[in-house]
Amino acid sequence: MKRIESLQNSLVKHWKKLGTTRKERDKFSEFLVEGFHLTEESLKKKELVKSLIVREGVDIPQGWDIEDVPLYSVTAAVAKEISETEHSQGIFAHCAQPEFTVQDQQAWTRLLLIDAVQDPGNIGTMIRTASAASIDAVVLGKGCADPFNPKTVRSAQGSHFQIPVVKGELTEWVQKMHDAAIPVFGTALEEAIPVHEAETQEKFALIVGNEGSGVSPELLVLTEKNLMVPLYGSAESLNVAVATGILLYSLVSKN
């Protein structure tokens, strides 16, 4: 296990930037996860783990598969420097962002398409919900929060290592669905049917948008059908992540 004590160490600077800047994450296609749970989840995709970083005095749990994973022991000061949480558990995984081939993408038949949702917590919750609902992949369109933002990663609770998450042009993805004869559902308040009237689907794509402006009109005109979650109480709207969960679980075939 290598020891790092200096805040000026080049790796420490890189780890810190992975946590604080999207530019660094995009440039190197890497990200940092923090805490025992997320680090353990990352090791289930060990090929993505570039190294584990452990604060002095913190023990790696027995049973973790860390063979061939580079290990770094760091001082409390270094751990504080790279931490994004108020009460750090002192363990981190430096990971590569997953990559997916065209062949991988062609096998995806149940997708969640997200249009311009800017809150990283909501994005993370939707990724986690999509994984729980057995969706094949999540596609983030323009204007979405970075899927590898630390807040997104924490909110997803390890789902980045369970479900593909990619960035793309949503109109192109809708066209791919049409070409594969996969129905595309939008979400809207007008010219939409209540979600409980929709039939479950073996294959589908669902488009959700941000709470302020919803799904863009350019996408809504490309859908087969638009859905809405009825509001029975006095609230004016639902949180987009909550609505996404209701919609996904209403559409997913249980067979």
Average pLDDT over residues 135-141: 98
Domain ranges of the chain: 2-96, 102-251
**What is the per-residue pLDDT for 236?**
86
pLDDT digits (tens, 9 = 90+) for 60-110: 999 999 999 999 999 999 999 999 998 999 999 999 999 999 999 999 999
Burial of 96 (C-beta count, 10 Å sphere; 0-12/13-18/19+): middle
CATH class of 2-96: alpha beta
Q: In the predicted model, is pLDDT for residue 219 greater than 70?
A: yes
Average pLDDT over residues 171-177: 97
This prediction's pTM:
0.96
**What is the per-residue pLDDT for 253?**
81
Residue 255: which pLDDT band, with cuts at 50, 70 and 90?
A: low
Q: In the predicted model, is pLDDT for residue 189 greater than 90?
A: no
Q: In the predicted model, is pLDDT for residue 193 greater than 80?
A: yes
Q: What percent of the chain has pLDDT over 90?
A: 94
Strands 49-55 and 165-167: unpaired
Average pLDDT over residues 234-255: 92
pLDDT digits (tens, 9 = 90+) for 3-54: 999 999 999 999 999 999 999 999 999 999 999 999 999 999 999 999 999 9
For domain 102-251, give its CATH number from 1.20.1340.10, 2.40.30.10, 3.40.1280.10, 3.40.50.150. 3.40.1280.10
Average pLDDT over residues 165-191: 96
